[in-house]
Structure 1
């Protein structure tokens, strides 16, 4: 019995994402070490190839628009608004959009809207980078007169901002280096527009979150750590704060 092409592709994609998740888990277990950076570099390289190759596959004249889906990413534990900010930044980076809600038990849910391949990348990134960010924040020691919580929250704001900034620059580089920059760029812009439309359709009452006020004591250190996380350099992409950040 011959396996259908789409089933083979789905199996390959599932294996790739499983490898990425395992690499992120290894990186989190040794966070802050050179070994962690090696694991992260491998994970980002796989994710970049996974996303760009798919965009190129959809740039042909006969290609059909892929499905737009919603992934519910549950945020629990401490520093939930800060975790939400990171996930929302990653969603925008991967041509998706995000909006949050609060469950009855108090946990926040980030609803990530976008083309399936991008949403899957956001889910993997969110799981991996949240652990890296929280681990790094826990190691922070503020200066005299600054509370640890305030310092850590500003650290995470800087971390999320810098990761998003670097991903944005890297995504443009990955498209430029691809075999069909014009075609891939057109597909990705269309993906972002479709995510916008789907968010308005599924969450018509959503409003842009108010700008959060955080201290400044840890922002630069957060940006430094966010800048040191190996994102695969010119192989990946990112963006700005979005709904719920």
Structure 2
């Protein structure tokens, strides 16, 4: 081990500990070391650490999501540099989705020379600290579910091409959801979202029937959706409700800040589109409801002690109620589409096909998450619950006792 590698190892060990002074002394020794050698040691270890993550289930977008939450902006940028450098050295086949994610993250490699100094902006000490923190994070990440064949393994199957009709349907759905997000009238937003769900449910049915006759039918796959603070549990509940309405299953990993959604490709696309739009709608409705609630209580803009706690309880209850009620509406739209398709000529084969796909998704969940537990959400604010339910379904204002719905949690 070279001197630079030993100094880096010492800095990493100290950074993982609890002695702040020792960590600073180890970092100081790394700062005064030979600069090019220290940079090379950092980069080589970062590339090795990243390469070990892919067989352990991580994908570039998953990594970027967690580093954005836990590191400084420069630390996150350094890790994106590392992603690009690791891709350059990745042995074996690299599936197209991997390069697509790197492009989405704008991960580019500009060369080894003065790599760290380019990001230092004149502050090499802080840049080294950020790089060490990034390495500590990368090397400490646990294995997670492998959703796609990783780089370097057996070549991934080519991506299924989106049919022209499927592409047009998704464009129509995006247009409907964009209108739902922009309107200030809850009833109009609900109608537009319901229509979008109907279109996606019908598209899912067509895809299922077509896939049932394919020589190599699709298998359940998965996506991960972020559940950042604040109100991470309520966001996970929204994902779960949207997933259930679209024949998918969701498992929340609260410590890692994401939910894993498992299902068939057309259904996963529906979940991603709807979840993104509904989160925007729910947040906007929550802010309007909060303002109206505080104004009605004479507390608008109040700095009264405890108002922050009351606001948090209101917001969480609002988002929980919104998720549960909108889930009911989405499932109703899906059931109507199923019933309509089943009554069409040849529709008698639909229900067995859908049942088989649901069984396949549940089996995949059991394979990937054998230790799933249930987490019950508690509703702490009746006004927030009532307002959230009304925002999801303006026609239903009579709210009884706050309900509780378990969320699947993975380990």
TM-score, with length taken from structure 2: 0.48
- Matches of residues 222-233 of structure 1 in structure 2 within 5 Å? 222-228=388-394
Q: Does 1:68 pair with 2:220?
A: yes
Pairwise CA distance, 1:177: 1.1
Any residues of structure 2 matched to 1:187-226 within 5 Å, and which? 187-205=353-371, 207-215=372-380, 216-226=382-392
Match of 1:234 in 2: none
CA-to-aligned-CA distance 1:16-43 (integer Å, 9 cap, x gap): 3244234323422334366645643553
2:339 aligns with 176
Q: Contact 1:140–1:152 (CA<8 Å) still a contact in 2?
A: no
CA distance in structure 1 between the aligned counterparts of 2:335 and 2:193, rounded to whole angstroms: 20
Correspondences of 1:86-125 after superposition (within 5 Å)? 86-102=238-254, 108-125=257-274
- Aligned mate of 1:82, from 217, 222, 234: 234
Residue 169 of structure 2: aligned partner: 16
Structure-2 change in CA distance of 1:86 and 1:173 (3 Å): same
Offset, 1:242: 4.8
The Cα offsets for residues 205-241 of structure 1, whole Å up to 9 and x where unpaired, read as 3x23321112232223322221249xxxxxxxxxx86
Deviations 1:33-54 (A, max 9, x none): 6664564355334323322222
Listed as ranges, the gaps of 5+ residues in structure 2 are 1-159, 298-305, 396-404
Change (3 A) 1:199 1:13: same
Unaligned runs of 5+ in 1: 1-5, 230-239
- Conserved 8 A contact 1:85-1:244: no
Q: 1:161 aligns with which of 324, 328, 333?
A: 324
* Residue 91 of structure 1: how far off its partner (Å): 1.0
Match of 2:383, SS state, is coil
Match of 2:351 among 174, 185, 189: 185
Answer with 1 or 2: which has the greater Rg. Answer: 2
Structure number with the bigger relative contact order (C-alpha 8 A, sep ≥ 6) is 1
Report the counterpart of residue 3 of structure 1 in structure 2: none
How far is 1:138 from its partner? 1.2
Q: 1:204 to 1:22 in 2, by over 3 A?
A: same
Alpha-carbon separation, structure 2, partners of 1:58 and 1:24: 27
CA RMSD in angstroms comes to 3.0
Structure 1 residues 25, 103: closer, same or farther in 2, change over 3 A?
A: farther
- The equivalent of 2:311 in structure 1 is 148
Instruction: State the secondary structure of the residue aligned to 2:360.
Output: helix
> Per the alignment, do residues 226 and 73 of structure 1 end up closer, same or farther by CA in structure 2, a change over 3 Å counting?
same
Counterpart of 1:49? 202
TM-score where L is the length of structure 1: 0.77
Q: Give secondary structure in 1 for the equivalent of 2:377.
A: coil
Greater helix share, structure number: 2
Q: How many residues align?
A: 224
